[in-house]
């Protein structure tokens, strides 16, 4: 049989993997099978530029249609894979069609975590994960309307900023004691609470949801304390779950995601995986990670393509992320989980520009840089190369950030 690499899931990782395969010299057939009817597209703008009509559907595409044609990459869109037959090396689609592979890549990403709130089936209630979700919200948005966002994570806050931009009244409901509690220091949470409040968002923490109210269409959200907040639109953003079911059914090892080695291979070396659905070992942090980021999807897909082409390289990229809200560009380098010290550089209490450095046992492990691109780039480079930093110099905004780092 001629060489055929099938990629399951038309995601960020899929688009990069297919492109990298050609760059690495793969001459065989490439097929991307996706259950959405769209070519691979950028997801971050869904809660921002696309949400408020600043980007068109075509502008979301990771690659234009002619890219796939030019590189002889087949797109099977609107197709769901029902199972993988590893013994016969083929996939079976939902319509029972079978496609043989020599190499298989799983880039199925993640799906929203759904909580069965009473009333969550009402018109006007949405989860923000894919293009269809956002397209359907447009009829419920508009100046003067009210929105309630359940979940004070990055997606919730980005959505709040977007809705305020178009003149909607916005309330954010967070069950924990502060927004972004799982991913940032208290100082960063306080900063975002302040900025959103200044922008007119009503943030309510330690708040539980009792029910989403309405007849056929949502008209409000009732909290556990009996308060009801009016709403024309409700957005629920309470995290995601990796799409591992098809891999698990095929007997691949699952460990908080599809387990892959440093070359993006599963326990079946003819099957690779990349992106949000995977769990891999990160040598910088010396632990297994499942990351939900464009950076991870892109960089891991490049390694998977090299592996498929017989060029084994170790995946050891530093995780980094970003979030755009109002005039704020948050850039995150590294992982802050497990920190025991936070150093603030700049004024987090009244300005809109500062950096929060996270340390563990005296070692720098991450930075949250808000409108501080130099701090982000310098720290990102330092973390990637194993440099250490002087905590006193990190805190001193009068010292050039480069001078805070030593070999």
Positive or negative, the CA dihedral 40, 44, 50, 51 is positive
Q: Which helix (H) or strand (E) holds 375?
A: helix 373-385
Position 407 scores a pLDDT of 65
pTM for the whole structure: 0.94
Q: What DSSP string runs through 32-66?
A: EEESSSS--B-SGGGGTTTTTTSS-HHHHBSS-HH
Write the DSSP symbol of residue 217: B
Per residue, the 3-state secondary structure of 257-295, as one string, reads CEECCCCCECCCCCEEECCCCEEEEECCCCEEECCCCHH
Residue ranges, comma separated, of all CATH 3.30.390.30 domains in the chain are 327-406
Evaluate whether 368 touches 355 at the Cβ level (below 8 Å): yes
Of 294, 295, 289, 260, residue with least CA distance to 380? 295
**Closest among 131, 130, 111, 107 to 31, alpha carbons compared:** 107
Q: Could you tell me the sign of the dihedral formed by the alpha carbons of 297, 300, 302, 307, in that order?
A: negative
Q: How far is CA 275 from the centre of its chain?
A: 10
- In tens digits, the chain (407 residues) has pLDDT values of 599 999 999 999 999 999 999 999 999 999 999 999 999 999 989 888 888 888 899 999 999 999 999 999 999 999 999 999 999 999 999 999 999 999 999 999 999 999 989 999 999 999 988 898 889 998 999 999 999 999 999 999 999 999 999 999 999 999 999 999 999 999 999 999 999 999 999 999 999 999 999 999 999 999 999 999 999 999 999 999 999 999 999 999 999 999 999 999 999 999 999 999 999 999 999 999 999 999 999 999 999 999 999 999 999 999 999 999 999 999 999 999 999 999 999 999 999 999 999 999 999 999 999 999 999 999 999 999 989 899 999 999 999 999 999 76
pLDDT the model gives residue 281: 95
Q: Classify domain 327-406 at the CATH topology level.
A: Enolase-like; domain 1 (3.30.390)
Looking at beta carbons, which pairs linking 399-405 to residues 24 or more positions away fall under 8 Å?
A: 401/345, 401/374, 401/375, 402/378, 405/378
Asked if 12 contacts 60 with a C-beta cutoff of 8 angstroms, the reply is: no
The top-level CATH class assigned to 125-236 is: alpha beta
Return residue ranges of the chain for CATH 3.50.50.60.
4-111+240-308, 125-236
Give me the residues paired with residue 214 across strands.
218
Sheet holding 258-259, edge to edge: 258-259, 278-282, 287-289
| Strand partners of residue 75 | 32
Which residues, 6+ apart, have CB-to-CB distance to 121 below 8 Å? none
148, HSE (Cβ side, Cα atoms, 13 Å) = 26
Q: Supply φ then ψ for residue 375, to 5 degrees.
A: -65, -40
* CA nearest to 301, candidates 273, 262, 265: 273
Q: Provide the pLDDT for residue 51.
A: 86
pLDDT computed for residue 406 by the predictor = 79
CA distance 377 to 380: 5
Cβ contact 124:212 at 8 Å: no
- pLDDT on residue 318: 95
Burial class (CB in 10 A: 0-12, 13-18, 19+), 193: buried
CATH architecture of 4-111+240-308: 3-Layer(bba) Sandwich (3.50)
DSSP notation for 90-130: EEEETTS-EEE-SEEEE---EEE-----TTTTSBTEEE-SS
pLDDT computed for residue 371 by the predictor: 98
The answer to whether the beta carbons of residues 228 and 204 sit under 8 Å apart is: no
In the block, tokens 């079978």 appear at: 98
């Amino acid at each position: 049989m001629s060489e055929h690499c099938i990629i399951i899931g038309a995601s960020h990782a899929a688009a990069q993997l297919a492109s990298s395969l050609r760059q690495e010299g793969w001459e065989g057939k490439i097929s991307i099978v996706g259950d959405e009817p769209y070519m691979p597209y950028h997801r971050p703008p869904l809660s921002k530029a696309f949400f408020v009509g600043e980007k068109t559907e075509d502008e979301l595409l990771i690659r234009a249609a002619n890219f796939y044609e030019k590189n002889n990459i087949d797109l099977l869109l609107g197709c769901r894979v029902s199972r993988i037959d590893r013994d016969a090396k083929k996939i079976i689609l939902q319509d029972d069609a079978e496609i043989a592979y020599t190499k298989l890549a799983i880039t199925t990403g993640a799906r929203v975590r759904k909580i069965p709130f009473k009333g969550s089936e009402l018109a006007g209630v949405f989860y923000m994960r894919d293009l269809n979700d956002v397209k359907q919200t447009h009829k419920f948005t508009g100046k003067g309307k009210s929105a309630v966002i359940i979940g004070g994570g990055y997606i919730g806050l980005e959505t709040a900023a977007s809705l305020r931009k178009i003149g909607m009244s916005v309330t954010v409901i967070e069950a924990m004691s502060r927004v972004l509690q799982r991913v940032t220091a208290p100082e960063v949470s306080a900063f975002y609470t302040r900025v959103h409040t200044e922008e007119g968002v009503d943030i309510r923490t330690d708040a539980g949801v009792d029910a989403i109210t309405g007849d056929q269409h949502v008209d409000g959200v009732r909290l556990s304390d009996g308060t009801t907040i009016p709403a024309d639109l409700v957005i629920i953003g309470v995290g995601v779950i990796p799409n591992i079911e098809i891999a698990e059914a095929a007997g691949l090892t699952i460990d908080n995601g599809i387990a892959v080695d440093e070359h993006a291979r599963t326990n079946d070396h003819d099957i690779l995986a990349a992106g949000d659905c995977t769990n891999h070992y990160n040598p910088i942090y010396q632990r297994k990670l499942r990351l939900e980021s464009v950076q991870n999807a892109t960089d891991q897909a490049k390694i998977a393509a090299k592996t498929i082409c017989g060029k084994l390289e170790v995946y050891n990229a530093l995780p980094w992320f970003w979030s755009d809200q109002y005039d704020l560009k948050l850039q995150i380098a590294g992982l802050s989980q497990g920190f025991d010290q936070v150093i603030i550089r700049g004024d987090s209490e009244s300005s809109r520009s500062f950096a929060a450095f996270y340390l563990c046992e005296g070692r720098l492990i991450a930075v949250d840089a808000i409108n501080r691109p130099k701090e982000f780039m310098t720290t990102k480079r330092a973390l990637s190369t194993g440099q250490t930093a002087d905590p006193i110099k990190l805190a001193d905004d009068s010292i050039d950030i480069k001078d805070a780092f030593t070999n």
